[in-house]
Chains A and B, each alone.
Chain A
Amino acid sequence: MSEHRSDNSAYALAWRLPMILWQGLFFIGPLIFMIAMSFFLVKNYRMEPALQVGNWTKTLSRGFFWDSYFLTLWLAGLAVIITTCVAFPASCFLAFRVSDLARRWAIFFLIIPFFTSYLVRIFAWQVILAQQGVINAGFSLFGIGPYTMLNTKFGTMIGYLTLCLPLAVILQTFSLANIDKRLVEAAHNLGCGRLRTIFTVVVPLAKTGLIVAAVFCFILSFGDFVAPYYLGGSKPPTLSIMIIDTSKSGQQWPRAAVVAIMMIVTMLVVALTAIGYAYRKRR
């Protein structure tokens, strides 16, 4: 096998090139174009190629851009923390306490949400969480409520959880299930308490998988516009809503591109830092 490791035969290139060409042309191409676009001018609702920094200065000098930026960062961060904490006990249960068969079934059920439309699920939440919705109707039986849940950050969070939770449980369960069980038992035998075992043995061993799950949650919630729009009432709007608003009204694509680039940079920094941390060798 190693003999063929680095050859540039026609055969090798035939397998290497399709991905490079396709993703280069239709993934890197658009991203580079977007960077160029951020320097364009808009006249009469049409973009004109230009090289001016007006879009950058105008967008970045606005207070509300930064408000929205930090709000989005905060919401996505919160979603990561909540999702990770909420998913963890369930993942532990699925990884350690059930049979292989039951685990396989659980994973199967966790995959099902990916086959339902996210929009449809959000619409269902709208109905469930409404002032006269299912939950408040349930509360009224006990004489409490109604509570306002829609058009609040709570609503947004429910949406983010809907998006992230199944994936987080799957990824966490996989990484926990891969832990060498003997290490956990050894800790037990040495008199380590249950909670202590979890935090000193299990979590460090599953670190990579846990962080990867968290990174996915961050990326998904940072970029999602559906939850903050339909469950959060865009109050205030997150960056992804700002992108849509900016491109929708007044054809300000270049400024939307500025917001987009800021988002990508942020996400890359967060993701790379986290991944770097995840794969750092433990001393």
Chain B
Amino acid sequence: MKDDITTRWLLRIYTAVIFIFIFAPILASFVFSFNSDRFPTIPLGSFTWHWYVTAFSDSDVWSAAEVSILVALSSALLATAIGFSAAYTDHRYDFFGKKAFLVLALLPPTIPLVIFALATLGWLSIFGASGKVVSIIIAHTVLCVPFAMAVIRLRLNQMDPNLEPAAWNLGATEWMAMKSVVVPFTLPSIVAALCLTAAVSFDEFAVAWFVSGLNKTVPVIILEILTGNIDPQINAIGSVVFVVSISLVVIAQVLVMGRIKKPETV
């Protein structure tokens, strides 16, 4: 095609600028986390580990990390299980009220978190279930189900529709076919859904802030520092959380890559 060089370069530079905009705050918080100034500006202050030391010698941060991990893992498992069942249902069945079923499955992300948090707090306190770790898990699962369902549904789309019937014809029960055909085929997406939902839960603060009571998660601590004694500990905590969750994703990626070949050829 007769691409003139200028347009090409302009587009390239433009896209680079977009990426710079997206990454500026991420990189900045990394840099600030090692900067001695409490309110960083140019020129930067000296290099320091101070904010990391302060943040991670605070037991509140560690107990928040425990709560966050527990919540992220539990809601990821629950949401992925529920999301899988919903995706499979959508893939295989047609039934009265299926439209409503899909709306129900995909609606949660469209409700602003503050509103959902408000409603959940009121609802759960009727059952005396507010202000507990389990309240966060319940709410986060609701938020995560649509993501898990979407990811797994995409994978099911790629499955040959004759695969399951073939297994039945060979004498497998529906449960056996599920176990030996559907689950192996969707495994990469299941793992991806687990990671994605864990990450969504791990970063969610609005709902956690409302319903958590005294059980703070890491983002709630960050919010508390932001509203309270604002300081670069935020950057230190944020950077560590970022590194940990990215590593988890990479680990998951490796796990998936290791397994992906087998189910693909089923």
Contacts and interface: CB of A to CB of B under 8 A. Distances in A.
B109 interface: yes
A243 B115 contact: yes
Interface SS majority for chain B: helix
Interface in A241-283: 243-244, 247, 253, 256-257, 260, 263-264, 267-268, 271
Interface in B53-110: 78, 81-83, 85-86, 88-89, 92-96, 101, 104-105, 107-110
B109 A113 contact: no
B254 interface: no
Contacts, number: 251
A147 interface: no
B249 interface: yes
A227 B21 CA distance: 16
Given A18-B82, A117-B203, A33 B29 contact: no
A23 B105 contact: yes
Contacts of A78: none
Interface stretch (A51-59, A62-70, A132-140, A201-209): A132-140
A133 B235 contact: no
Q: Which of A11, A127, A253 has the most CB of B within 10 A?
A: A127
Contacts of A162: 22, 25
Interface string A215-243: 00001001111000010000000001001
A137 to B, nearest CB: 4
Interface stretch (B183-191, B238-246, B255-263): B238-246
B251 interface: no
A74 interface: no
B42 interface: yes
A123 B234 contact: yes
A5 B120 contact: no
Contacts of A169: 18
Contacts of B118: 34, 243, 247, 253, 256-257, 260
A86 interface: yes
Please classify how large the interface on chain A is, using the bins under 10, 10 to 19, 20 to 34, 35 or more: 35 or more
Given A90-B18, A123-B234, A128-B24, A267 B175 contact: no
A22 B111 contact: no
A15 interface: yes
A264 B238 contact: no
Nearest to A87: B18
Given A165-B18, A188-B1, A89 B104 contact: no
Nearest to A23: B104
Contact of A23 (B19, B93, B142): B142
B21 A119 contact: no
A240 B27 CA distance: 29
A33 B123 contact: yes
A217 to B, nearest CB: 12
Nearest to B88: A15
Interface string B98-138: 00010011011111111110111011101000000000001
A19 B25 contact: no
B115 A120 contact: no
Contacts of A166: 22
Given A117-B241, A128-B25, A267-B110, 4 more contacts: A26-B138, A87-B18, A117-B203, A219-B112
